[in-house]
Structure 1
Amino acid sequence: MALINIDHLTFCYDGSYDNIFENVSFQIDTDWKLGFTGRNGRGKTTFLQLLCGKYEYRGTIDSPVSFDYFPFQVTDPSQNVIEVVAGICPDFEHWELQKELSLLEVAEDVMERPFAALSQGEQTKVLLAALFIKPNNFLLIDEPTNHLDIEGRRVVGKYLNRKTGFILVSHDRVFLDRCIDHILTINKTNIELQKGNFSKWWINKERTDSFETAENDRLQKEIKQLSAAARRTAGWSDKIEKTKKGTLNSGIKPDKGYIGHQAAKMMKRSKVIETRLQKNIQTKEKLLKNIELADSLSMKPLSHPKNTLVELSDLAIYYADRNVCENVHFTVERGERVALSGRNGCGKSSVLKLLTGEELTYSGKLSIGSNLKISYISQDTAYLQGSLHSFAEQYQIEESRFLTILHKLDLSGVQFEKDMRMFSAGQKKKVLLAKSLCEQAHLYIWDEPLNYIDVLSRMQIEDLIVRCRPTLLFVEHDSAFVQSVATKYIRL
């Protein structure tokens, strides 16, 4: 056991006036399985890069272990897997790698194959195995689940649960619960460290938020009452004090000593009320700072006159050198929310692209309802650049509604002025989600819409879909989301 000490860490990017971190201090035990979460754009990846020494910062980071970052960049993917592993860990023992790959349910013959020939899920597993066999390292694992299907997430989660000494950035609640024993959260105003998994942290957060909200309401009511009492007491004190200078209605001169005593009592009472009032105001100011506003989203799906919107029968899709999928049979009925699942590379994205009108070679029956309006979210966000204003113009969506949705998904006004190339991966994905929610469609087709999206935004989208009940065909590997949203399951 050893400790990584972060002391008064302060950092901001060149040209920015806002600190990402300001005087942050905490300790990490090198034996922890530490989950790391927080809304998009709060600095999770930046913090990992600071640990790796990528940027200059103020404060200190004192670590007895070296850091390795995942995903590791493979410079020559044409090399065999065994050569890639040797580049990461030159002194590795062959049996060690075999053991790690076995735990990750990767076939042994993969070591003689070119790295580029592996599926993205297999590449993820190989790199994790290679990085974990390095001696005296602490692994920084940045969103490994984005290239893993549900089964892959189960395997990797089980694997990480056997390990210690890592920070894991993930927004998949079930995956986090499988493999962490502590959680680090970037809140609005601080960084919070707790023992336990994601579910335990979420229960604690809901309790804290509920208590602070109730306490804020109580203090608000009491502050209003105390303010009124303070005004009344001050008024009474002034009236009593004024009687010193006059005569009573009976013509008798007032007892100035008695009146002064009464005025002093009133003034003292006023001071007590004022002190209580200020104390309550100060207490109230400390509340609600880390409550995440997750306003309800909205969408306006269209209703198609036909009940069956999509029908596939004995469908096969071909690329130049191979067939991607075959014997695909399913329908999408009006009002259904269809989850399309299957291992990586089985053709899920190809089926979705075919339905959106992309020209692919296929055989079998493909029937799409006449005049069917489709709203599509692709996996790819790399093409996003330029301003949000020009993006809204390009896709002819209502800009004010588009920006409102992005604001509800926790993009600040500062982000609205930036080029989308400067956005984090999660923020780019939110742009595509907001676009789709602005579009009125009979059928929404979403291909892994939650990649890089933070947990609170996922919950907002879950709530939206359950409330608005659009017809939806989607691919998603977040099992909590799928279970909450899907009304029908199709496995390729």
Structure 2
Amino acid sequence: MSLINVRNLTFAYEGSYDNIFENVSFQIDTDWKLGFTGRNGRGKTTFLNLLLGKHEYGGHISANVSFEYFPYPVPNKEDNTLDVVGGIYPDYVHWELMRELSLLDVTEDVLYRPFESLSNGEQTKVLLAALFLKENSFLLIDEPTNHLDLQARKLVSDYLRNKKGFILVSHDRAFLDRCVDHILSINKTNIEIQQGNFSSWMENKQRQDQFEMAENDKLRKDIKRLSEAAARTSHWSDEVEKTKNGTRNGGLRPDKGYIGHKAAKMMKRSKAIENRQQAAAEEKSKLLRNIDGTESLKIGQLAYHKHQLAELDRVSIAYGDRKVCENVSFAIEQGDRIALSGKNGAGKSSLLKLILGEEIEHSGTVRIGSQLRISYVSQDTAHLKGNLADYAREQDIEESLFKAILRKLDFSRTQFEKDMADFSGGQKKKVLIARSLCEKAHLYIWDEPLNFIDVLSRMQIEDLLLTHEPTILFVEHDSEFCRQIATKTIQL
């Protein structure tokens, strides 16, 4: 066991006025299985890059381990997988590699195929196995679940549960719960570490947020009451002061000593109220700093004139000699929230594109309702570039509504001035979802909408779909999201 010490870490990107980290200090035990969470754009990948020594920073980071980053860059993907493993760790022992791969349900023949021919899941598993072979290394695992199907996610989480010494960035709640024993969270104003899995961290956060909101409300009422008391005391003091130079009833001169004593008592009381007011204000200022607002979202759902919107009847799709799905039949009716489930390569995206009207060679029948309006969120975000205002005009959506939705999804106003090409993966995905929410449609088709999106935003989207109940067909590998949202599941 050794420690990674972070002391007074301060960092901002060149040309930026805002620090991403400011005087941050904490310790990490290298035996921990550490889940890393925080909203998109808060600096999770940046922190991993600081550990890797990719940027200059203020403060100190010290460690007695070497850091390894996942996903490991593979420059020549046409190489055999065995050569890729050798490039990562030249001193590997073959039987040890096979032991790791068997734990991940990867067969030996994969090693003798070009790396680029492997599925996303197979590539993930091979790279993890190779990296965990390296001695005295602490792994920085950055979002391994993207594009992994449910079965692959379970295998990888079971594998990680039996390892130690890693930081895992993931927004999949069930995945984190299965394989971490500590949570490192980037909050609005600090970084915290808690023992436990994601669910226990979330429960503690909600409890702390509720306590702070109750305390804030109580202190707000106290400050108001003290302000009113201070105003009354000030008024009484003025009235007493006026009697100093006047006469009492009956023409007697006022007792200036008594009046002075009374005024002094009132002044002392006023000062005490002022001090209590100041203390309450200071206490109040310490609250609510890390509460992430999750405002409710809305969707432009249109009612369709028929109960059934679309239907697939015994549909099969093949690419050349490779059949990806066969005899798929289901109907989409108003109010359905349908999860399309299956392994990677099972034809999920192809079926979505077929319903969207794309030219895909198939057999069977696809019936789409006349004048059906569909809003589509694709997996791909690579096309996003330029500013948000131009994008809103190109997509023919209302710019103010579009930006308001992004604000609710934790975009800062400074983000609105940036080129979308510089957004994080999660921020790009939020752009596509916000655009879809602005579009008035009868049917929403979302293909892996949650890739890279932070947990709190996922929960906002869940609330939206459960509150407004739009008709939606989606592909998503986040098991918790599917459990909450889907009214039907089509298993391919």
Find the residue that maps to 2:432 and give its secondary structure.
helix
Q: Residue 251 of structure 1 aligns with which residue?
A: 251
Deviation at 1:319, TM superposition (A): 2.3
Q: Residue 159 of structure 1 aligns with which residue?
A: 159
Deviation at 1:90, TM superposition (A): 0.4
Alignment-mate amino acid for residue 202 of structure 1: M
Deviation at 1:329, TM superposition (A): 1.6
Once the two structures are superposed, what CA deviation does each residue of 1:92-111 show, in whole Å capped at 9, x if it has no partner? Answer: 00111111111111122211
Once the two structures are superposed, what CA deviation does each residue of 1:390-437 show, in whole Å capped at 9, x if it has no partner? Answer: 111111001111010000000010000111011000000000000000
In structure 1, distance between residues paired with 2:255 and 2:15: 71
Q: Residue 19 of structure 1 aligns with which residue?
A: 19
- Superposition map of 1:71-470 within 5 A: 71-320=71-320, 322-470=322-470
Find the residue that maps to 1:23 and give its secondary structure.
strand
Once the two structures are superposed, what CA deviation does each residue of 1:260-311 show, in whole Å capped at 9, x if it has no partner? Answer: 1111111111111111000000000111011100000001211212222121
Find the residue that maps to 1:188 and give its secondary structure.
coil
Structure 1 residues 93 and 391, CA gap change in structure 2 (3 angstroms): same
Once the two structures are superposed, what CA deviation does each residue of 1:168-192 show, in whole Å capped at 9, x if it has no partner? Answer: 0000111000000000111111111
Alignment-mate amino acid for residue 430 of structure 2: K
Deviation at 1:231, TM superposition (A): 1.1
Comparing 214-223 with 320-329, greater Cα deviation is found at 320-329
Comparing 107-116 with 417-426, greater Cα deviation is found at 107-116
Contact 1:318 1:360 in 2 (8 A): no
Q: Which runs of 4+ in 1 moved over 6 A?
A: none
- Superposition map of 1:43-58 within 5 A: 43-58=43-58
Alignment-mate amino acid for residue 34 of structure 1: L
Deviation at 1:320, TM superposition (A): 3.9
Deviation at 1:130, TM superposition (A): 0.6
Alignment-mate amino acid for residue 69 of structure 2: Y
Alignment-mate amino acid for residue 251 of structure 1: G
In structure 1, distance between residues paired with 2:467 and 2:31: 43
Contact 1:35 1:184 in 2 (8 A): yes
Identity among equivalent pairs (%): 66
In structure 2, distance between residues paired with 1:166 and 1:209: 28
Alignment-mate amino acid for residue 379 of structure 2: Q
Deviation at 1:249, TM superposition (A): 2.1
Contact 1:234 1:270 in 2 (8 A): yes
In structure 1, distance between residues paired with 2:206 and 2:458: 16
Contact 1:124 1:147 in 2 (8 A): no
Contact 1:308 1:332 in 2 (8 A): yes
Alignment-mate amino acid for residue 72 of structure 2: F
Deviation at 1:321, TM superposition (A): 5.1
Unaligned runs of 5+ in 2: none
In structure 2, distance between residues paired with 1:264 and 1:182: 57
Alignment-mate amino acid for residue 232 of structure 1: R
Deviation at 1:241, TM superposition (A): 2.1
Alignment-mate amino acid for residue 210 of structure 1: Q
- Give me the TM-score of the superposition, normalised by structure 2: 0.99
Deviation at 1:327, TM superposition (A): 1.8
Q: Residue 38 of structure 1 aligns with which residue?
A: 38
Contact 1:181 1:197 in 2 (8 A): yes
In structure 2, distance between residues paired with 1:326 and 1:390: 42
Deviation at 1:238, TM superposition (A): 2.0
Q: Residue 478 of structure 1 aligns with which residue?
A: 478
Deviation at 1:11, TM superposition (A): 0.7
Deviation at 1:323, TM superposition (A): 2.7
In structure 1, distance between residues paired with 2:40 and 2:320: 39
Deviation at 1:462, TM superposition (A): 0.3
In structure 1, distance between residues paired with 2:32 and 2:63: 14
Alignment-mate amino acid for residue 114 of structure 1: P
Alignment-mate amino acid for residue 24 of structure 1: V
Once the two structures are superposed, what CA deviation does each residue of 1:365-414 show, in whole Å capped at 9, x if it has no partner? Answer: 11111111100000000110001011111110011110100000000100
Q: How many aligned residue pairs are there?
A: 492
Once the two structures are superposed, what CA deviation does each residue of 1:424-468 show, in whole Å capped at 9, x if it has no partner? Answer: 000000000000000111110000000000001000000000111
Alignment-mate amino acid for residue 456 of structure 1: L
Find the residue that maps to 1:312 and give its secondary structure.
strand
Once the two structures are superposed, what CA deviation does each residue of 1:220-261 show, in whole Å capped at 9, x if it has no partner? Answer: 111001001011112211221221112112111111111111
Deviation at 1:61, TM superposition (A): 0.8
In structure 1, distance between residues paired with 2:155 and 2:15: 42
In structure 1, distance between residues paired with 2:380 and 2:61: 35
Find the residue that maps to 1:53 and give its secondary structure.
coil
Q: Residue 67 of structure 2 aligns with which residue?
A: 67
- Give me the TM-score of the superposition, normalised by structure 1: 0.99
Unaligned runs of 5+ in 1: none
Contact 1:104 1:155 in 2 (8 A): yes
Alignment-mate amino acid for residue 164 of structure 1: K
In structure 2, distance between residues paired with 1:126 and 1:427: 29
Find the residue that maps to 1:144 and give its secondary structure.
coil
In structure 1, distance between residues paired with 2:482 and 2:250: 85
